[in-house]
Amino acid sequence: MKELNAFKAFLNSPRKIVITTHANPDADALGSSLGLYHFLKGRGHSVEVITPTDYPQFLHWMEGNEQVIIYDNSKADRIGTLIKNADLICCLDFNGMKRIKSLGPLVDASEAKKLLVDHHLNPEEFADFSLWDNQAAATAELVYDLILLLDGKDEITLGIAEALYAGIMTDTGSFKHNSTSAKIHRTVAELMDIGVDINKVSRLIYDTNSLNRLRFIGYALMEKLTVDAEKRVAYFVINAEEHERFHLKSGDTEGLVNYALSIQGIFVAAIIMERGGEVKMSFRSVGNHAVNDFASEYFNGGGHKNAAGGISDVPLDETVEKFKSLIPKFQ
Ligand code: 5GP
Ligand code: MN
């Protein structure tokens, strides 16, 4: 870790701390944030978790969920004050200020010290303290490491352990992505020793489908999946009208792209969808096809080699045309 001793010394007095994470938080983003939140509160600091957008219902079980402050315009003043007056801002699971939407300029302008804990490539250089490792499968794994570096293993409560386990379980794709290391299994073993019920966490996250969501997946597979068998690329296109028709909520499209990638012979999959007034894209790949480079070069995005995302600056139809014209880049 960069500046561990300075970080330890910094935490020796009670601090005002803000924890934030990327827009549309997933289980790793929220689990890391709430895990670190409880740990730092336990050490006597005053801590707030602020997310740039809301997040899916299936994450609401995490301990501390009620305390999370979700950005919206009506809270802009209060959030601005918290960020401005913070001594420390912990930036978890993101590598650049664009990823935290309206919070970006506020965090940038704050004189607070910044801690980065992250596993995405090419982090922007804003951190005073950082625990960054792109070999880590999940930011939650790094939060666990950070707690150990701060000699806090005995302070890991069940609430912390469950939140961190949720991040690890989802970011490893339930322990099947390449990023799944022997080390992370050892970390999970420690979390289980603390009492994490892995079946319970799995059910809370994965087995909470609404009927709307299941019907939507059926519809998307049947009507909205384009397969280019020759180029070995498959993608979904979902428009705003479909979002409304199926009452899609935050998180409902999560995992859909994996169905496209699971088709035999396909090595790049995408989902292109209108969501909240923007066109959001998710990319997945197998092997050496680096979708993070693709996302950053063409769609203002980034991520990991085999899982990335981005945002298009042109309308849905034009985005689809642009994507189709770029498919040869994957060869
Ligand atoms: P997902 O497709 O699940 O939204 O995201 C997959 C990965 O890509 C995640 O690691 C996420 O951090 C990254 N990612 C998703 N959307 C964006 C984006 O708009 N910009 C950047 N830089 N990364 C993204
Ligand atoms: Mn992550």
Tokens read off for 78 = 């209060």
Q: 285: which DSSP letter?
A: E
Q: Tell me, what's the pLDDT at 252?
A: 94
Domain that holds residue 75: 4-206
- Same domain (yes/no): 252, 125: no
Taking a 5 Å cut-off on Cβ, the residues next to ion ligand 2 are 28, 93, 139, 171
Contact 56, 254 (CB under 8 A): yes
Return the percentage of the chain with pLDDT > 70, whole number.
Answer: 100
The Cα 106–Cα 70 span in angstroms is 15
Which of 206, 240, 265 is a domain's end point?
A: 206
Q: Tell me, what's the pLDDT at 250?
A: 87
Stretch 59-65: mean pLDDT: 98
Distance 179 CA to ligand 2 centre (A): 11
Ligand lying nearest the CA atom of residue 137: 2
Global pTM reads 0.96
- Same domain (yes/no): 62, 119: yes
- Same domain (yes/no): 195, 93: yes
User: Does 331 score more than 80 pLDDT?
Assistant: no
The Cα 154–Cα 143 span in angstroms is 14
- Same domain (yes/no): 103, 241: no
Distance 11 CA to ligand 1 centre (A): 31
**Any idea what the CATH number is for the domain that residue 292 is in?**
3.10.310.30
Which of 206, 231, 257 is a domain's end point?
A: 206
Stretch 126-153: mean pLDDT: 98
- Same domain (yes/no): 217, 298: yes
Largest CA distance in the chain: 61
- Same domain (yes/no): 260, 111: no
Stretch 307-322: mean pLDDT: 97
Stretch 309-331: mean pLDDT: 95
Contact 236, 224 (CB under 8 A): yes
Distance 251 CA to ligand 1 centre (A): 13
- Same domain (yes/no): 216, 201: no
- Same domain (yes/no): 188, 227: no
**Any idea what the CATH number is for the domain that residue 160 is in?**
3.90.1640.10
Ligand 1 atom nearest the C-alpha of 24 is 4
- Same domain (yes/no): 217, 201: no
- Same domain (yes/no): 189, 218: no
Which phi-psi region, left, alpha or beta, contains residue 47 (left: φ > 0; alpha: ψ -120 to 50)? Answer: beta
Strand 129-132: give its sheet, edge to edge: 69-70, 46-51, 16-21, 88-92, 113-118, 129-132
pLDDT digits (tens, 9 = 90+) for 182-229: 999 999 999 999 999 999 999 999 999 999 999 999 999 999 999 999
pLDDT digits (tens, 9 = 90+) for 239-293: 999 999 999 998 999 999 999 999 999 999 999 999 888 999 999 999 999 999 9
Q: What is the mean pLDDT of the chain?
A: 97
Instruction: Look at the chain and report how many structural domains it folds into.
Output: 2
Confidence of residue 330 (pLDDT cuts 50, 70, 90): confident
Ligand lying nearest the CA atom of residue 271: 1
pLDDT digits (tens, 9 = 90+) for 64-112: 999 999 999 999 999 999 999 999 999 999 999 999 999 999 999 999 9
The Cα 92–Cα 132 span in angstroms is 10
- Same domain (yes/no): 60, 192: yes
Q: Tell me, what's the pLDDT at 276?
A: 83
The Cα 97–Cα 126 span in angstroms is 9
- Same domain (yes/no): 172, 278: no
Which of 155, 184, 206 is a domain's end point?
A: 206
Return the percentage of the chain with pLDDT > 90, whole number.
Answer: 97
Which ranges constitute the DSSP H helices of 88-233?
103-109, 139-149, 158-171, 182-194, 198-206, 211-223
